[in-house]
Amino acid sequence: MCLHTPFAITPETDTSCHYFVAASSNYGTAPSDEEWKTENQFLWDVLLTDKAAIEWIQQSYLDMGSKTPDVSVRADEAALRFRRMLEQQLLRESESAAAKPSR
């Protein structure tokens, strides 16, 4: 029986990504063949659902560019906070570079 399945999605190129997944299990009790089949099918269904969602999001970015609305959930909070901090830092750097006199 699968107890926990963490995953991470990270960009590879502008139109592709890597999807990392790991599964842990309670090996104290050997699952039956049917339990393994059920768990594997469940995980496969989740991956296919994620694939469809990621492809839809990617197509939205390709179609709408920067006008693509940002849809986030509470679990995205840390990543969003980091993104905002990075955007602010980039803005400060560009403003600082623009304020320096050219030689």
Q: Does one domain contain both 30 and 80?
A: no
Q: Does one domain contain both 66 and 82?
A: no
Q: Name residues whose C-beta falls within 8 Å of residue 8's C-beta, 6 or more positions apart in sequence.
A: 19, 20
Give the mean pLDDT of 29-44: 84
pLDDT tens by residue, 45-98 = 988 998 898 888 888 888 888 787 777 788 888 888 998 999 999 999 999 888
The answer, yes or no, to whether residue 29 has pLDDT greater than 80, is: no
Q: Are 35 and 41 in contact (CB under 8 A)?
A: no
Q: Does one domain contain both 88 and 40?
A: no
Q: Does one domain contain both 37 and 80?
A: no
pTM above 0.75, yes or no: no
Its sign, for the CA torsion 41, 44, 49, 50, is positive
**Residue 85: what pLDDT?**
93
Q: Does one domain contain both 46 and 92?
A: no
Q: Does one domain contain both 61 and 100?
A: no
Q: Does one domain contain both 35 and 13?
A: yes
DSSP characters for 2-57?
EEE--EEEEEEETTEEEEEE--EE-TTSPPPHHHHHHHHHHHHHHHHHHHHHHHHH
Q: Does one domain contain both 62 and 91?
A: no
- For residue 54, give Cα distances in angstroms to 9, 31, 50: 9, 32, 6
Q: Does one domain contain both 63 and 76?
A: no
Containing structural domain, residue 45 = 2-70
Give how many domains the chain has, as a whole number: 2
